[in-house]
Amino acid sequence: MVSTLVEARGLVKEYGAGVRVVDDVSFTIERGETLGLVGESGSGKSTVARMLLRLVEPAAGEVMFDGRDVLGGSAGKLRAMRRRMQIVFQDPYAALNPRMRVREILAEPFAIHRERCPRERLAEMLGEVGLDASALERYPHEFSGGQRQRINIARALALRPEFVVLDEPVSALDVSVGAQVVNLLRELQRRHGLTYLFISHSMPLVRYLCDRVAVMRRGCLVELGACEDVCGSPQEAYTRELIAATPEMRIV
């Protein structure tokens, strides 16, 4: 039986003089599925994602994770919940501290949660994203963009979360490297039963990776449904514009 892991109810976020960047957005994400969240820059996608993780506080609305209120409760309860939710950011260069070795970067989530992390576990984490254990003693500047994003993914999965926000994780990479990272994400999801929110402006990428897609425009959710339905027969003119604006791409 499919069950809901994440639920957003009536999320609102305002900046400045009552300007709504997110306006009454509601959706669910089921266990083990990938929901694509698409829209042009400034549509509110990343703000919604950050509200799900409580990195941004909403002006109104609710977020439920596995039946528990993300926005309420004590700091201790939020801390315990957060180890089950992680994020991979868009820029693989800015997301890694240039002064830290890879082993320190990967060990950081364990330190935050006051857990010991043996070196064997760090090497295992790198192996899962296709990197050799020799990378542990190197610094971020010694890696390519695709390799850095693999390190970011390894760090996000360090505590074995259930839910991962992927905030345009391949938009800063060239097409072939991005395709490799997307395939890695699919394999990791299959291996660990992960649930993803995949944020993108690329409809072909969403169609390849996602089960369902939610389309945002100017802070509002304008279309939501199965990927094949939305991509194959979009109901909104805006969705058709997004599809027309992003050419088909080959991912193998």
pLDDT tens, residue by residue, 33-90:
999 999 988 899 999 999 999 999 999 999 999 999 998 877 778 888 888 999 999 8
In angstroms, the CA 85 to CA 56 distance is 14
Q: What pLDDT score does 250 carry?
A: 54
> 11-46: per-residue pLDDT in tens?
999 988 778 999 999 999 999 999 999 998 889 999
Quickly list DSSP for 67-88.
Answer: TEESSSS-HHHHHHHHTTEEEE
Contact 238, 222 (CB under 8 A): yes
Q: What pLDDT score does 185 carry?
A: 96
CA 18 to chain centre: 28
Q: Is the pLDDT of residue 225 over 80?
A: yes
> 133-159: per-residue pLDDT in tens?
999 999 999 999 999 999 999 999 999
Mean pLDDT computed over every residue of the chain? 91
Q: Around 249, how many Cα atoms within 13 Å sit in the side-chain half-sphere?
A: 20
Contact 225, 182 (CB under 8 A): no
